[in-house]
Structure 1
């Protein structure tokens, strides 16, 4: 995440404030932009934030001071035993991949596996939210319905490959309801 993304992230959280989630899981703290906006627009009663980098975690601990809903966690969320169910999960999936050796098929499989883990952490009406840059198709997630709330023009955002993006979308994914035995004809 970079400061150039801040207006876009403001659009995400102000647009989704109607969801009124009470329990939020945020994966990655970074510069704290999304955490600050989540606090401002979504006003959760519980805001768990997992950060893997110890130096950034120190910033997260400072951020949590005076914000009783924020619980800071150091470590990889995927290696933690998380029992809490959340109404809203925010994940900025900046992948540390090298473009030269990028394998799209492996990326798709890893993305699906991660989404399945997140689905287990969601409450019945919970949603998974992440940024979507560009004006192209929003990739679907197996087991989820994708909702595009809004497409918008944004101030130029520098991407990982050093290009600039001026298109983005406010999106979220809602888990598909699993059919139980009683739902079968």
Structure 2
């Protein structure tokens, strides 16, 4: 099964809470604004975004990266309906109601923004190891393409198998509401480039 329908504890324009966990919060917006503004120079033509959430990153990708094609995969039905509304306002956006692993092999992207929420405890998705995930993401990138994801905290940025890690900048932002209701002010702008 590639899609799910969830009952959120809270779902509005500022926060998504499911099963007692913050899926996404508007408090992430300052960080994402800094991230995509800083990476604007990349000017990717084709972007794959994994997870829509509140649409914060999608709107900022449109604003700063301005891709010719912006494919967004979302697995949760209610959030996908929000994604469809967003796509109606942005001509380059192609919404997909499916797990990102279903992307066709011939698709190649210049930039992948990987920010899914792990609904696996719900039990409806097959699990993928970190190695399998890294391999699949690498297959979807052009040779010069980049993989990007949020990094919260001032600790080490985890390496991704088959990629070189680049920490562009570390910065502090207003407190971000994390999944476990803690807060975080330390973030990093990070990307990974495929090893040859």
TM-score band w.r.t. shorter chain: 0.7 to 0.9
What are the within-5 Å matches in structure 2 for residues 102-141 of structure 1?
110-141=129-160
CA RMSD of aligned residues (A): 1.6
Q: For 1:141 and 1:175, how far apart are their aligned partners in 2?
A: 9
- Aligned residue pair count: 168
Q: For 2:167 and 2:103, how far apart are their aligned partners in 1?
A: 31
Q: For 1:6 and 1:14, how far apart are their aligned partners in 2?
A: 12
Deviation at 1:82, TM superposition (A): 4.3
Deviation at 1:81, TM superposition (A): 3.0
Distance 1:136-1:69 versus aligned 2 partners, 3 A rule? same
Deviation at 1:37, TM superposition (A): 0.2
- Name 2:29's counterpart in structure 1: 6
What are the within-5 Å matches in structure 2 for residues 11-30 of structure 1?
11-30=34-53
Q: For 1:150 and 1:11, how far apart are their aligned partners in 2?
A: 10
Q: Retained in 2: the 8 A contact 1:146–1:173?
A: yes
2:111 to 66, 74, 88: 88
Deviation larger for 151-160 or 37-46: 151-160
Q: Does 1:79 find its partner at 2:102?
A: yes
1:162 to 173, 178, 181: 181
Q: For 1:3 and 1:9, how far apart are their aligned partners in 2?
A: 10
1:51 to 65, 69, 74: 74
Deviation larger for 72-81 or 126-135: 72-81
- Name 1:182's counterpart in structure 2: none
Q: Provide structure 1 residue ranges, at least 5 long, that are not aligned to the other structure.
A: 99-106, 178-185
- Name 1:65's counterpart in structure 2: 88
Deviation larger for 32-41 or 77-86: 77-86
Distance 1:10-1:114 versus aligned 2 partners, 3 A rule? same
Richer in helix (by share): 1
Q: Provide structure 2 residue ranges, at least 5 long, that are not aligned to the other structure.
A: 1-23, 122-126
Q: For 1:72 and 1:94, how far apart are their aligned partners in 2?
A: 17
Q: For 1:86 and 1:6, how far apart are their aligned partners in 2?
A: 24
- The structure that has the greater radius of gyration is 1
Q: For 2:110 and 2:118, how far apart are their aligned partners in 1?
A: 24
